Amino acid sequence: MTELNPINDAVSYGYEGNVALLCINNPPVNAMGVAVREGIMHAVEVINDQAKAKVIVVYCAGRTFIAGADIREFAKPPMGPSYGEALSALEDSALPTVSIIHGTALGGGFETALATHARVGISGAKFGLPEVLLGIIPGAGGTQRLPRVTSIAYALDIALSGRHVSVEEGARDGAIDRVVDSGDPREIAIATGREVIEGNLNTRRTADIDVAADDAAIDSALSMVQQKNPHLINLAECAKAIAASTLPLSEGLEREADHFRVCMNSPQRSGLIHAFFGERAVSNVPEAKGETRKLDKVGVIGGGTMGSGIATSCLLAGLPVRMIEVQQEGLDRGVTTITKNLDGAVSRNKMTPEARDKALSNLTPSLAMQDLDDVDLVIEAVFEKMDIKKDIFTKLDTICKPGAILATNTSYLNVDAIAKVTNRPQDVLGLHFFSPAHVMRLLEIVQGEQTAPDVLATGFDLARTLKKVGVLAQVCDGFIGNRILGHYSKVASYLVMDGATPQQVDAALEGFGFAMGPHKVGDLAGLDIGYMTRQRRKEEGPDPKERYAGALADKICEQGWYGRKTGKGYYLYEGGAPVPNPEVDTFLDEVRAENDITPQDFSDQDIVDQYMTAMISEAARVVEDGTAKRPVDVDMVFLFGYGFPRFRGGPLHYADTIGAKELVTRIDTYAQEDPTYWQVPPLLRKMADDGTTFADLNS
Ligand code: T1G
């Protein structure tokens, strides 16, 4: 095998006969950093100058072709040659250039392939332009070159969805010129080069291809993005850039650069890139590393909404599940729900009917807890009552084999108190799923005082297996998410008691980017859950100085109205879109009269400011006392478990766009009205004093 000559640490070149190989090797995903761009430009120049070859074939070492621009460089000042310069070198090369795609050619990676004169995909490989998922648009010619080799309509589909496409599908639509059987990219590069020289594979400069205008496709794309994602600015910028592909390439590339700059300067870009790296950072903690215990068989106790959702999630991941219930009726209900969940996955083409049948064959329903004696992990998902959970863990302690992991799906309760009823507290942790558990990607992994390191690492292992975003949380009432929710949801009630309406609060927060406002979420989840939590808190003796936030909700629940499931809550659910429940206004007047409140006007911005400041305050306390390891952990909890708008990056990433000083000023102002509820967390005051940001606390 010919030795390759290094251009720099990331790029090398060599010759196999008169085939020139240009190899990129920049682990872990061959991101197109400055060294790769410099290396490509220099290699193309040298190979053309040396005139030893008849074709240049670009391929990558490692597990994938170029997976895009190096996203980490976005936060730094521009360095080295631009993407445009590097790719023009490939396109304008006198020698034909060809790309060999394996793994995933994404963003700048696929744009590199589009700049070469032919694209060969190795079976199983994928390509795509996922830049929109990062708040930007393709910025290295993708919006101009993809329409040239396919069409404007196709480019709109690929670039606006950000989806990963198989090379087989790409070959059908013209994006890929040939698909070959899987094999070593270098060997395939050599063979492909010979095919080009022998005239068996055509090459052509993408720039030379004209694009047929398609205004209809552009117009429908622009109205579609306005309807589906009214908050995101980059989707329309992307469609407009693609519309410019009918111009000569050089002009089109300038237009693309203009639209790209608009997105780069938008805070949405930093929010979405924070989300990209945050999703990876939460499992990049020592607790997620190290030895794990085997996870071949799982037991789930409880066939209710959570139990059957958790069982479905495990079955979807190929894990055999033993589901335990106390009565046949409950067991049957659980099996029915699981079957419905799996059927839903089939109807959404997420799995084949055969895979569904296989998953169902992996489910063993049982009324005997004794049947859990050989499972590796038990997840308890029964009623949120401490005595019931303690009783179950006492039994599990005698039934389960040594080394089995005992997990509770409690949303609030003290995991240590549950662990203490067993003789194996080191094998106990919290695994807090979110409803619907087979859909929601968040998994709070709750570390008890005595939870063993390998048990914790196994929790993260399970998250990976279930394709969940596992976030480490310490024990407290409600862990990370529900504790913060418990605090800021009060502000939504205070705003309504003081003058706003439930629908105004919901509309203001939906305008901020939440998919659903808090009152609609309450109606969806069931207002009875909040009612029971308030009753439990009343028994535990609430802070007498704090304003009671549940007055209106209690009145609604005392009518037996729990939201969607009863057809009535803050809204009426009579088939069409939910409409505000007029009787709530009557209750509101009563609550204000009973509390001697003169309603005041709130702007939507006032509502957002108070709501977000409350969320940020409690989030700061959660980081301060170590319940969450870092601000990014809180952010990911809210992105993957609480419908927080992804383009804002999470509550603490958003907090940095306001600044600690302004937040402290706000809280001090609000505290003049209510000093009990509004208190500045010491961490926030310190950050205001020394100018640190939550981003600083992540590093
Ligand atoms: N830049 C920098 N680092 C990256 C990266 C990238 N593009 N992609 C991945 N990484 C890191 C990641 O953070 C992780 O690091 C490690 O690589 C493994 O990734 C001009 C401007 C390729 C499908 O959006 O979708 O091109 O956590 O854990 O699950 O138009 O990574 O180990 O320290 O995700 O096997 C467009 C992003 C960029 C693709 C592999 N490209 N990457 O998934 O591994 S914008 C993308 C992915 C662009 C141009 C524009 C996935 C993957 P660490 P991983 P994986």
User: Is residue 162 packed enough to be buried (19+ CB in 10 Å), middle (13-18) or exposed (0-12)?
Assistant: middle
CA 400 to CA 393: how far, in whole Å?
10
Strand order in the sheet with 5-6: 5-6, 11-16, 19-24, 55-60, 97-101, 119-122, 178-180
**Bridge partners, residue 6, by sequence:** 12
- Pocket residue to mutate for ligand 1, from 26, 29, 164, most atoms within 8 A of Cβ: 29
Does the Cβ of 256 fall within 6 Å of ligand 1? no
Helix (H) or strand (E) holding 58: strand 55-60
CB 94 within 8 A of CB 48: yes
> Residue 96 has what pLDDT?
98
- Token code pair at residue 67: 């997976």
Reading the block at residue 560, the tokens are: 């037996």
How many angstroms from the chain centroid is the CA of residue 283?
A: 13
Distance between CA atoms of residues 204 and 568, nearest Å: 63
Pairwise CA distance, residues 152 & 283, whole Å: 39
β-strand 165-166 against 126-128: which pairing, if any? antiparallel
DSSP 3-state of 20: strand
**Which is it for the CA torsion 639, 484, 266, 218, positive or negative?**
positive
Give Cα separations from 678 to 52, 388, 440, 634, 667 (angstroms): 74, 36, 31, 20, 6
Angle between helices 215-228 and 234-243 (to 10 degrees): 180
HSE (CB half, 13 Å, CA atoms) of 652? 32
Distance between CA atoms of residues 643 and 440, nearest Å? 10
**H/E element, 5:** strand 5-6
| Residue owning tokens 């599940």 | 321
List of long-range contacts for 166-170, beta carbons under 8 Å, 24+ apart: 166/124, 166/125, 166/126, 167/101, 167/121, 167/122, 167/123, 167/124, 167/125, 167/126, 167/127, 168/121, 168/123, 170/119, 170/121, 170/127
For the Cβ of 107 lying below 6 angstroms from any atom of ligand 1, the answer is: yes
Burial (Cβ within 10 Å: 0-12, 13-18, ≥19) of residue 139? buried
* 114-125 b/e (C-beta count within 10 Å ≥ 16 → b): bbbbbbbbbeeb
For residue 104 and ligand 1, the question of a CB distance below 6 A is answered with: yes
pLDDT at 8: 97
What's the CA gap between 348 and 358, in Å, rounded? Answer: 17
Q: Is the CB of 138 under 6 A from ligand 1?
A: yes
Kindly write down the DSSP assignment for every residue of 279-300, as one continuous string: HHHTT-SGGGSS-----S-EEE
Name the amino acid, one letter, at 520. K
User: Is 131 designated active site?
Assistant: yes
Q: What pLDDT is stored for residue 544 in this prediction? A: 79
Distance from Cα 23 to the centre of ligand 1, integer Å = 19
Length, in residues, of the chain: 699
The answer to whether residues 50 and 84 touch, using CB atoms and an 8 Å cutoff, is no
Cβ(188)–Cβ(100) below 8 Å: yes
At 116, the amino acid letter reads T
Atom of ligand 1 nearest to the CA of 68: 26
- Give the chain's radius of gyration (CA, Å): 28
Beta-carbon contacts of residue 420 (< 8 Å; ≥ 6 apart): none
**pTM over 0.85, yes/no:** yes
Classify residue 129 as left (phi > 0), alpha (psi -120 to 50) or beta. beta
Which residue's entry shows tokens 């030379």?
Answer: 208
| Span between the terminal Cα atoms of the chain, in Å | 43
d(CA 53, CA 96): 10
Question: Would you tell me the crossing angle of helices 34-50 and 83-91 to the nearest 10 degrees?
Answer: 20
One-letter amino acid at 560 equals G
Contact 369, 397 (CB under 8 A): no
Catalytic pick among 111, 256, 444, 618: 111
Q: Are 647 and 513 in contact (CB under 8 A)?
A: yes
Provide the pLDDT for residue 1: 67
Q: Which atom of ligand 1 is nearest to the CA of 164?
A: 23
CB 80 within 8 A of CB 41: no
Q: What is the dihedral of CA 429, 430, 433, 434, to 10 degrees?
A: -170
Q: Phi and psi at residue 82, in whole multiples of 5°?
A: -75, 170
Tell me the CA–centroid distance for residue 29 and ligand 1, in Å: 7
Closest residue CA from atom 23 of ligand 1: 104
C-beta of 280 in contact with ligand 1 (< 6 A) = yes
DSSP 376-417: SEEEE---S-HHHHHHHHHHHHHHSPTT-EEEE--SSS-HHH
Instruction: Give me the amino acid identity at 190.
Output: I
For residues 414 and 432, the answer to whether their CB atoms sit within 8 Å is no
Q: 535-549 b/e with 16+ CB inside 10 Å = b? A: eeeeeeeeeeeebbb
Those residues whose C-beta lies under 8 Å from the C-beta of residue 473, and which sit 6 or more positions away, are 430, 432, 444, 445, 446, 447, 479, 480, 627, 628, 633, 637
CA angle 280, 284, 286 (to 5 degrees): 165
DSSP SS3 for 697: helix
Pair 640, 469: CB distance under 8 Å: yes
| Catalytic annotation present for 329 | no
Low-confidence residues of the chain: pLDDT under 50: none
Of the residues 16, 38, 91, 131, only one is catalytic, namely: 131
Measured from the Cα of 137, ligand 1's closest atom is 30
| Atom 18 of ligand 1, residue of closest alpha carbon | 28
* Number of CB atoms found within 10 A of residue 227's CB: 7
Looking at residue 75, what is its pLDDT?
86
